[in-house]
Structure 1
Amino acid sequence: MANQDPNISNTIPIIGLEFVRPQPSDLTIIGDTVKDTNGNKVFKVKTPLFGLHNKRILVDPNDSPIVTMKMKVTSKHDRWQVYRGSDLDDKIFTVKRSSTVQLKTRVEVFLKQNRSKEASCDFTMKGRFMKRACTIYVGDSKKIIAQVHEGGERLVATIYPNVDAAFIVSLIFIFDLINMGGAS
């Protein structure tokens, strides 16, 4: 587990308080399934069988939808909108590539309540797709809230204390999709 930053203050839950833990946690991602350190399924990402392939649904262990991630097809910045549950009227946040040409992937996250008209992001993800690693920061600061690295056939996400795990997992899947060129 990565060293935790003692300067991180309590984070407001982005998706839900039930996904926030007071201690750091590691999650393992294999394919579309996310497990905790005890091997229990925590989340799964589903791709609808019918309809557009530019949509993913993060579900809990009981297959109840937590968020719906939907790619904006006409976006040149690989923009994804994330909605609460399966309600496409209840947007929580937007994720987009910061520029169309990048050597290292940089993705910006804008919460629904962000009034900066995307001049200032709420969270940033930086990483290299080939290494399947990234770090998630608060805004443009150096304050880390999660880190992801490859561990063989899987990804390991270290989520810092008081950070919404469902939010982080959503970002990881979107980051992967953006790096693979969108939906497949």
Structure 2
Amino acid sequence: MAKQDPTSSSSNTIPLPPLVGSEFVRPQTLDLIITGDTVKDTTGNKVFKVKTPLFGLHNKRILLDPNDSPILTMKMKVTSKHDRWQVYRGNDLDDKIFTVKRSSTIQLKTRVEVFLKHNQTREASCDFTIKGRFMKRACTVYVGDSTKIIAQVHEGDKRLVATIYPNIDHAFIVTLIFIFDLINMVGAGV
């Protein structure tokens, strides 16, 4: 997948409000390296870690900051035919921020839709879309159904490299990448 120049016409030129927190928004493009469950910046500093709880169901992940404090909890809805994941602020399962789901049950290419809190009851049109392929872990994140790209991920040597465009909440994007990867594993029968 070719990386697109963040200054091109289809990239994000209008800043989006922070979805997780303003501390996760930068005015410049940010590259993050994802190896296993750890996310680092290009200088090797740990930015996030995703933890799978040892006890309980394996359909839950927690995004942690470098000090192991919870930022978001990702929980898969067990009875969903669209591999639906619900994302909550911190450990509070009463504070849902957004929902991520496969757009249809049968797909040749993976297409995942994201619905923010205000849009979760009607789900008429998605707020963000992630598109990629089962066999490749590369994907692109778009605003709604538009061609406006806000992040791209490509597979490197046993790692993923995420390019997050300016003024985009990178905690939100990292969460989407992990959920997309989990949905892809289910779709590929892993």
Q: TM-score range by the shorter chain?
A: over 0.9
Counterpart secondary structure, 1:181: helix
**Identical positions, percent:** 80
- 1:3: how far off? 1.1
Aligned to 1:164: 169
Give the Cα separation in 1 of the matches to 2:103 and 2:48: 27
Structure 2: runs of 5+ lacking an equivalent: none
Aligned to 1:27: 32
Structure 1: runs of 5+ lacking an equivalent: none
Give the Cα separation in 1 of the matches to 2:93 and 2:65: 18
Give the Cα separation in 1 of the matches to 2:47 and 2:120: 33
Structure 2 residue identity aligned to 1:98:
S
Q: Which runs of 4+ in 1 moved over 3 A?
A: none
- 1:115: how far off? 6.3
- 1:93: how far off? 0.0
Structure 2 residue identity aligned to 1:108:
E
- 1:35: how far off? 0.2
Counterpart secondary structure, 1:56: strand
Asked if 2 retains the 8 angstrom alpha-carbon contact of 1:5 and 1:144, the reply is: no
Give the Cα separation in 2 of the matches to 1:62 and 1:115: 31
1:105 aligns with 2:107: no
Task: Work out which of the residue numbers 92, 100, 103 in structure 2 matches 1:95.
Answer: 100
1:129 aligns with 2:134: yes
Structure 2 residue identity aligned to 1:36:
D
Give the Cα separation in 2 of the matches to 1:48 and 1:2: 36
- 1:131: how far off? 1.6
TM-score by length of 2: 0.93
TM-score by length of 1: 0.96
Structure 2 residue identity aligned to 1:3:
D
Give the paired residue count. 183
Give the Cα separation in 1 of the matches to 2:35 and 2:120: 36
Asked if 1 retains the 8 angstrom alpha-carbon contact of 2:73 and 2:90, the reply is: yes
- 1:161: how far off? 0.1
Query: After alignment, is 2-11 or 64-73 more displaced?
Result: 2-11
Aligned to 1:150: 155
Asked if 1 retains the 8 angstrom alpha-carbon contact of 2:99 and 2:120, the reply is: no
Asked if 2 retains the 8 angstrom alpha-carbon contact of 1:126 and 1:134, the reply is: yes
1:81-107: per-residue Cα shift (whole Å, max 9, x none)? 000000000000000000000000000
Give the Cα separation in 1 of the matches to 2:93 and 2:129: 24
Counterpart secondary structure, 1:39: coil
- 1:8: how far off? 1.7
Counterpart secondary structure, 2:182: helix
Asked if 2 retains the 8 angstrom alpha-carbon contact of 1:137 and 1:146, the reply is: yes
Aligned to 1:17: 22
